[in-house]
Amino acid sequence: MIRAFLALPLPEPILDRLTIAQHRLPLPRPLEPETFHITLVFLDRQPEPVLEDFHNALEAMARYAPLLRLDGLGSFGGNDPDAVFARIAGDARLSALHMKSARAAREVGIEVPGRKYVPHVTLGRFRKGEAQPEALARAMQAVEPLTSDLWLAEEMVLYRSTLRPEGPVYDPLARYKLG
């Protein structure tokens, strides 16, 4: 079984901006900048043949390059945040790429949750009760506005995700040009 996800890697200038913002936030569990990405679809743990079928479906799919930009900060978890992220504003091609990828996953038997797609880059995580919401909100306001120029996503990557105590390790399994 391989734990995997499909994502858009980030260009170096965006990684630099996110790293600077990340260092200005009170994040007890910051993610390593080399792990920053925009998830299109999380596949969870899948048998290798199913991932091969998914790969073949992606190869056959028309893939258009979305236009993206950083669009501020947010958090997941409500009053007890469990993650801080950079919001990503994308065009209709980003939504279409997500929907087509999720449909391809479902067609090969991968269960994909039907929740609303929120394009983002996770910067750090909190354990239950670890976040101090008021201090976090002040720090996030001090970092705002976290924006960027537009950039065109050039590829999507199918990653293997290996969970380790020191943090996840992501290894590319396949790359797909967008255009």
- Residues 164 and 67: their CA atoms lie apart, in Å, by 33
Catalytic residues: 37, 120
Summarize pLDDT for 109-147 with one digit per residue, the tens. 999 988 899 999 999 988 888 778 888 888 888 887 899
pLDDT reading at 166 higher than 80: no
Instruction: Indicate the number of domains in the chain.
Output: 1
How many residues does the structure list for the chain? Answer: 179
Average pLDDT, the chain: 93
Strand, coil or helix: what is 149? coil
Strand, coil or helix: what is 88? strand
Summarize pLDDT for 12-30 with one digit per residue, the tens. 999 999 999 999 998 888 9
Percent over 90 (pLDDT), the chain: 74
Whether the predicted model's global pTM rises above the 0.95 cut: no
- Residues 6 and 83: their CA atoms lie apart, in Å, by 20
- For the record, the structure tokens of 68 come out as 């993206």
User: Where residue 110 sits, what CATH number does that domain have?
Assistant: 3.90.1140.10
Summarize pLDDT for 84-114 with one digit per residue, the tens. 999 999 899 999 999 999 999 999 999 998 8
Is the Cβ–Cβ distance between 97 and 149 less than 8 Å?
no
Summarize pLDDT for 43-100 with one digit per residue, the tens. 999 999 999 999 999 999 999 999 999 999 999 988 888 999 999 998 999 999 999 9
Domain that holds residue 41: 2-177
- Residues 156 and 38: their CA atoms lie apart, in Å, by 9
